[in-house]
Structure 1
């Protein structure tokens, strides 16, 4: 019988109980951590925050240039779609006119009893009338056949236009979707940067505001009105006008996607400056670098476009003596800055 007795349960007392309780708490804490309790992010130094913010703003600028490019494509596609629809409408009007003409011809045949032209000619006893009717019927037949052929051709052309318009519309829808994605990405990067900046003290935020968001401070205020020495001269009147416009834009806020007149992004500023000089530039940094002729860094002149980073994601307007005017980033208005504060990628001189 002893072999069938229920095992006696033992209670934990003293140090054994305390050890078991500690282990239970540790296990519960571990389980909670695995269930998703976040671990506090380590504190960042002001220098680390600034580095992260610089990178976020740079990423936002890359996305901004892509956004600008897609938006330009959307505009071109929408314009092309409008032209196709207008042409289809014009051709439809001509088609309706041709159909009305055919309808009039058919009605005329019905009124004459739909008698075959050859029979009508044969019924004529007057030789001169016979020849006249024969020539007239032949011409009418040719016109009838040509009208039908013309209608068929117009129908084919309109179908082609409508097919092209459908394709353009599908492309436009896809481009608009891409535009929304780029916009969301830009807004996310800027929001992340602003959240990081909020961790800094007021003094550190003020110090960062004096930076361009590219890892370097802006040029001193004394250098924001004219290049040192004043010796730099624009190569032509148009370049001088572009520089003059950029100087007039100093202090204007940075707004991504903006091309003026009261706010700009980096490529929007250079485009607006040269537009004021009567020169049309493409919208994005990676297309502006191919506008005009390339210029080596050693031969830069006021008005030249200077580009930065391997992806050609930033541009400024050179004003001489190693300085440029550019739109740096959100929160940093249009200002003068040294061109050596960012990795130089190339320069071009608009024609």
Structure 2
């Protein structure tokens, strides 16, 4: 496809992406007739906001990825332009030497016309009028100048697209932050509502669970895991009377419509790898180089897991022993 058509198509795609994002962002100011909203009321609003946030994040990732790739292309074009420009400069220097010789020979009027040219490309075109210069040299100079002009035109078009995508990137980032801030405000309200309703149940569930509610499959999986707190650890069990570690996470994600094997290492292979910075409610946390244990993240640096024989499904913080032995994070689905 011709460069001009490529840039036109990319520009159209980028514009469509941001146009779609613009309609997703609506006013998210919590408003309640009841001054004491229930946790379920707040969770319904979080679900709504999360559904708006995820497409915005995906659109931001798409534009940001295009922007990064196009910046790399522009840099590559600049690298290609440098030797081409040098070749043109050398060719022009040779032409100048030849033209000076012609001038001394008495053909000054023609040479003056050539030297008066302000454009390297037009200079190459006018060289055809100099009978003293071989056609092969003219062809070489013209070819290099044409190639240089092509790369320069491609680079200008790419730079224009980069400028447009940079604006779109900043706009989507602002929308993403705005929705995230609104979700965080609702999370604080939710924790207050759970606190007033006595959601904590002692050592097994010291705080509201999940600590951070999110919409989508991850939120549903985390809710299911939280509902199983207090069930006994039973080796090789996946409910309903008890669970082992991978049985718990399998049951949690089954509630979200995602099937996982009853084995921690298999669940790791079935999940998309993520970083600690990207960890969100519902993600799986794996332990040990041999992946011998797995828990499910419920927000706020807490996870739910089935520890070992004689214990119960419980919440624990990702600190101390648990923080030191994490070997990876995964997102099923």
Instruction: Decide which of 326, 333, 336 is 2:302's aligned counterpart.
Output: 333
Is the aligned partner of 1:180 residue 2:203?
no
Instruction: Decide which of 223, 236, 242 is 2:269's aligned counterpart.
Output: 242
Instruction: Decide which of 82, 100, 111 is 2:71's aligned counterpart.
Output: 82
CA distance in 2, matches of 1:211, 1:242: 25
CA distance in 2, matches of 1:150, 1:244: 52
Is the aligned partner of 1:265 residue 2:274?
no
CA distance in 2, matches of 1:335, 1:70: 31
Relative distance call for 1:333 and 1:104 in structure 2 (3 A) is same
CA distance in 2, matches of 1:139, 1:237: 77
The alpha carbon displacement at 1:151 in A equals 0.5
CA distance in 2, matches of 1:188, 1:158: 45
* Unaligned 5+ runs, structure 1: 1-39, 118-136, 247-258, 278-318, 338-347
TM-score by length of 1: 0.48
Deviates more, 1:211-220 or 1:236-245: 236-245
The alpha carbon displacement at 1:109 in A equals 0.8
Is the aligned partner of 1:151 residue 2:145?
yes
**Contact 1:56–1:193 (8 Å) recurs in 2:** no
Instruction: Decide which of 160, 167, 171 is 2:165's aligned counterpart.
Output: 171
Instruction: Decide which of 217, 227, 237 is 1:218's aligned counterpart.
Output: 227
Taking only aligned residues, the RMSD between alpha carbons, in angstroms, comes to 4.7
Structure 2 equivalent of residue 197 of structure 1: 191
- Deviation sequence 1:18-42 (CA, Å, 0-9, x none): xxxxxxxxxxxxxxxxxxxxxx953
The alpha carbon displacement at 1:263 in A equals 5.8
The alpha carbon displacement at 1:69 in A equals 1.4
TM-score by length of 2: 0.50
CA distance in 2, matches of 1:58, 1:82: 36
**Contact 1:209–1:331 (8 Å) recurs in 2:** no
CA distance in 2, matches of 1:58, 1:234: 28
SS in 1 for 2:34: coil
Is the aligned partner of 1:141 residue 2:141?
no
**Contact 2:199–2:208 (8 Å) recurs in 1:** yes
The alpha carbon displacement at 1:102 in A equals 2.0
**Contact 2:260–2:270 (8 Å) recurs in 1:** no
**Contact 2:194–2:208 (8 Å) recurs in 1:** no
Instruction: Decide which of 37, 46, 51 is 2:40's aligned counterpart.
Output: 51
CA distance in 2, matches of 1:333, 1:156: 57
Structure 2 equivalent of residue 93 of structure 1: 82
Structure with larger RCO (C-alpha < 8 A, sep 6+): 1
**Contact 1:84–1:165 (8 Å) recurs in 2:** no
The alpha carbon displacement at 1:186 in A equals 1.9
The alpha carbon displacement at 1:77 in A equals 2.0
Is the aligned partner of 1:105 residue 2:105?
no
CA distance in 1, matches of 2:332, 2:276: 23
SS in 2 for 1:72: helix
